[in-house]
Amino acid sequence: MTDTQSEAQTHTIRLELVDEPGELLRALEPISAAGGNLLSIYHERGNLTPRGHIPVEVDVSCAPHRFETIVGSLRDAGVNVIQAGSERYDEELVVLLIGHLVDTDLSDTLRQIESCSDASLTDLSLSAPRGRDETSSARLRLKTRSGTNGDALSKLREIADEKGLHVIEPLTEASQ
């Protein structure tokens, strides 16, 4: 039996993985086997959890009744599930960031954006035509909860201000 599009929801699962070959694959297999559709993986080898493991955030789409099966399958496989929760992201926001993205730690910028509980990064395109020492740009595609684009943009502006970056925002109905 397949889930209908109307049943599917986005669920975020935060994992803690040991830095060994095959660990990410071992964490993804139970998701697939339980019927989850993988939307994004945020795997950051440069950061470690307090226990010295790698934090990984996985967004999956599935019907609510499948989510508990996925989480249980992960735990049964010995994967350390730090947090498992359902988040409904049904709007999209596309922005450009311009500035010294690499020198101001792009990974940190993305982590701060995703710390906003109303947004989840779904796509990133980086352009640095003159190398890391010059101005670069990134197109970010974010999924946001219904009605929270303004909150996500506010958080993005705050982060950009702290790092000396420029934000090119989408046109909204009020600004057209």
Residue pointed to by tokens 């600004």: 175
- 96-109 per-position pLDDT tens digit: 999 998 888 888 88
Residue 50 pLDDT:
61
In angstroms, the CA 63 to CA 80 distance is 22
Compute φ and ψ for 76, nearest 5 degrees: -60, -30
Q: Minimal CA–CA distance to 104: which of 76, 125, 135, 78?
A: 135
| Residues 73 and 109 placed together within one structural domain of the fold | no
115 CB-near residues (< 8 Å, 6+ apart): none
Weakest mean pLDDT among 3-7, 20-24, 52-56, 77-81 = 3-7
Residue 148 lies in domain? 91-170
CATH number, residue 139:
3.30.70.260
Report percent pLDDT > 90 for the chain. 27
Rg (CA), the chain: 18
In a domain, 69, yes or no: yes
| Residues 35 and 77 placed together within one structural domain of the fold | yes
- 43-53 per-position pLDDT tens digit: 877 777 766 78
- β-partners of residue 140 are 95, 124
Contact between 31 and 92 under an 8 Å Cβ cutoff? The reply is no
User: What is the average pLDDT value for the chain, to the nearest integer?
Assistant: 82
Coil/strand/helix, residue 15: strand
What's the pTM value of the predicted model, to 2 decimals?
A: 0.51
Q: At what angle do helices 23-33 and 64-76 cross, to 10 degrees?
A: 140
Any idea what DSSP says for residue 7? T
| Residues 43 and 101 placed together within one structural domain of the fold | no
| Residues 27 and 96 placed together within one structural domain of the fold | no
In a domain, 4, yes or no: no
